[in-house]
Structure 1
Amino acid sequence: MPPYPTGSWMPVALSADLPAGTVMPAQSPVGPIALWRSRSGRAVAFADRCPHRGMRLSHGFVRDEALSCIYHGWSYAQAGNCLRIPAHPGLAPPETIRVATQAVEDSGGIIWISVGEAAAPPPRLDGLAPLRSMMVEADVAALEAAAGGKANDGLLDHTHNGRTLRLLLASEGEARTLMHVLVGEDANPTERIAASRAAETLRRAAEGIRRSRAVQ
């Protein structure tokens, strides 16, 4: 599987999939996260659990520069501290009410989550642009077998019909992999469609390998 040791970065979503003022669920090495983007455009990652009653914050809503829980409306700043408790409008929430946060970098069209304290910025993907993400119900080993190659620092090359497709992989457990499909920055619409179809074919092949291994 791609190595995401402490101090590295894990690609969890495409920037285009998280517009300003929205929130989405994602996975990180420490568990589920609520990935959200403030109205001003900053990406933030919270542990996906409200400290109040444990509701998933990924079901919440963005209000300006804060994320609010959908259950009782508790609001949290980007640093994780509680800003507002609607049932007690005159109360200044104590600093002890906090959501765990993770460092985020929004770079090259990819949203990266730090694994521990990162020592350097996320890797640069010069000349490449993200096309789409898809969930593969198979592990990285099955994807490598289907592609006939090995992932290097999370990047897997797959040659299909004479064209090389680059895939950025993020393992989400024993039998799930988030696959970000990358194409050349100058790829035309026909090439982008072909890359998307090639990635779908690879996904089906990897899932077939996983199923065949499960019955052996």
Structure 2
Amino acid sequence: MGMMGAACSDPCASAPTPDTGDTVPTDWTPAALSDDIPVASAAPGQLGPHDLAIWRSASGRIAAWADRCPHRGMRLSHGFVRGERLSCIYHGWGYGEGGQCVRIPAHPELTPPEAIRVPVFSVAEASGVIWVAEEAPDGPPPEFPGVVAFRSLQVSAAPEALAAALGGTGTVIETVLGGAQVVALIQPLRGGAAGLHLLAPEGSDPAALDALSAEVEALRRRVEAAEEMTA
């Protein structure tokens, strides 16, 4: 993108200055930052109406599955990772690559039927972001040279309102926030909320990141207050 320069130290920058707006149309949806799903862990996520279990195996492979065990409906995001397998916390049923059930602890001698399978979603990582899709997109998710994943937060406002406050439209916006030129990735969430996944300039010093964090919190308060007034 050729977009990153040194972070500005102007403490009075209270509103983002738009750069290029909605820059990268994509069929992928940002769901989490890569650092938020460490090796051998699982966490809940969303994709439209779907609840997801986003998890990383011991080898570092990322996966996004329906967040429900086929056995008793327990959330798999509450489960545990052993090797390349995600297991339900309730009865320990284990699921391997492709969502296939590979182990039922109460019947260790049984080869689970192929019909016992968790629905899986397309998932990929790029620029420190975990991207998900219901169908396999035509290409990989976008890369953003010069920036690194910084933080994620939930905003109790419509994605369109958040995008407008950032000075753009859509879900991928390059703009200036807290004196830094950033990439803002917006994730639609249920209940009229939005997730904001922020990418900050690579090599930013702690003071610049503190300023960026303060500005994004102020932005959230402004957007949520405006949403309340129009509700």
User: Is TM more than 0.5 here?
Assistant: yes
| Cα separation, 2, equivalents of 1:211 and 1:58 | 32
2:17 alignment partner in structure 1: none
1:32 alignment partner in structure 2: 51
CA displacement at 1:190 relative to structure 2: 1.1
1:127 alignment partner in structure 2: 146
CA displacement at 1:20 relative to structure 2: 0.3
Residues 138/91 of structure 1: CA separation in 2 closer, same or farther (3 Å cut):
same
1:167 alignment partner in structure 2: 184
Instruction: Give the secondary structure class of the aligned counterpart of 2:97.
Output: coil
Choose which of 49, 68, 91 in structure 1 pairs with 2:87: 68
1:63-104 residue CA offsets vs partner (Å, 9 max, x unmatched) = 111000011100000211000001111111010100001121
1:146 counterpart = 2:165? yes
Kept in 2, the 8 Å contact 1:104–1:111? The answer is: yes
User: Structure 2, unaligned stretches of length 5 or more?
Assistant: 1-21
Larger relative contact order (CA 8 Å, sep ≥ 6): 2
| Cα separation, 2, equivalents of 1:161 and 1:182 | 12
2:70 alignment partner in structure 1: 51
CA displacement at 1:28 relative to structure 2: 1.0
Instruction: Give the secondary structure class of the aligned counterpart of 1:8.
Output: coil
Amino acid at match of 1:129: V
CA displacement at 1:35 relative to structure 2: 0.3
Taking the TM superposition and a 5 Å limit, the aligned residue runs for 1:1-216 are 8-147=27-166, 149-152=167-170, 154-160=171-177, 162-214=179-231
User: Structure 1, unaligned stretches of length 5 or more?
Assistant: none
| Cα separation, 2, equivalents of 1:39 and 1:157 | 34
Kept in 1, the 8 Å contact 2:85–2:95? The answer is: yes
Deviates more, 1:78-87 or 1:137-146: 137-146
1:94-139 residue CA offsets vs partner (Å, 9 max, x unmatched) = 1010000112112210011124121001011111111000011111
1:167-208 residue CA offsets vs partner (Å, 9 max, x unmatched) = 111111352111011111121111111111111111111111
Instruction: Give the secondary structure class of the aligned counterpart of 2:99.
Output: coil
Q: % of aligned pairs identical?
A: 44
Amino acid at match of 1:14: L
CA displacement at 1:157 relative to structure 2: 4.3
CA displacement at 1:145 relative to structure 2: 3.9
Q: What CA RMSD, in Å, does the superposition of the two structures yield over aligned residues?
A: 1.9
